[in-house]
Structure 1
Amino acid sequence: MTTPSDATPPGTATARVVVYSRAGCHLCDQAEAIVAEVCDAADIAWHRIDIDTDPDLVRRFTEQVPVTFVDGAQHDFWRVDPTRLRTALGVR
């Protein structure tokens, strides 16, 4: 299983969902829209991290973005299924 870097990026400490993505990525845009819809409806914090701001994140995730983590564990990459995300978060 892949884990994010040891340093906790700002804003992620309280976020249950973290999306590692990059600008100009249509799959990232789609994933972020789904995450925002699901999380906002359930009042759950989420955070986006641009992998291009950190060489280690580029090395780890460049071929998989977007990569979604839920409660610190990798949940998905490339696409986010809203039903699967709701289940992982324990919401309907």
Structure 2
Amino acid sequence: MPKPATLPDVVLITKADCHLCAEARAVVGRVTDALGIGWREQPVDDDAELRERFAEEIPVVLVDGIQRDFWKIDEVRLARTLRRALDTQP
């Protein structure tokens, strides 16, 4: 299967001193590494809008701007979501 022209945009929303965020980083890293795609982290600490939007749900994983998981990130579900996104890219 050829690589899609556009890879899914994976963003992990985090905050400082968050043990669930550390676990989420590991999960997101494993899944994206296995699929050969990148991801980025967006802390809410200096972003009032993000902090208000995701207040009690951090960490949060967004794929192409859509919230896909929060708190304890499900590795199998994230992999399935990203594989599906890769399969539907033009």
Normalised by the length of structure 1, the TM-score is 0.78
Matched with 1:51 is 44
In 2, distance between residues paired with 1:55 and 1:28?
18
Which portions of structure 1, spanning 4 or more consecutive aligned residues, are displaced by more than 3 angstroms?
none
Matched with 1:18 is 11
In 2, distance between residues paired with 1:29 and 1:15?
22
Aligned length: 78
CA offset digits 1:8-62 (Å, max 9, x no partner): xxxxxx7621010111100011011100111012111101000111111111112
In 2, distance between residues paired with 1:86 and 1:57?
25
Q: What's the Cα RMSD here? A: 1.5
Matched with 2:87 is none
Matched with 2:3 is none
In 1, distance between residues paired with 2:65 and 2:56?
20
Query: Greater helix percent: which structure?
Result: 2
Percent identical among aligned pairs is 44
Structure 2 portions without partners, runs of 5+: 1-6, 85-90
1:38 and 2:27 correspond: no
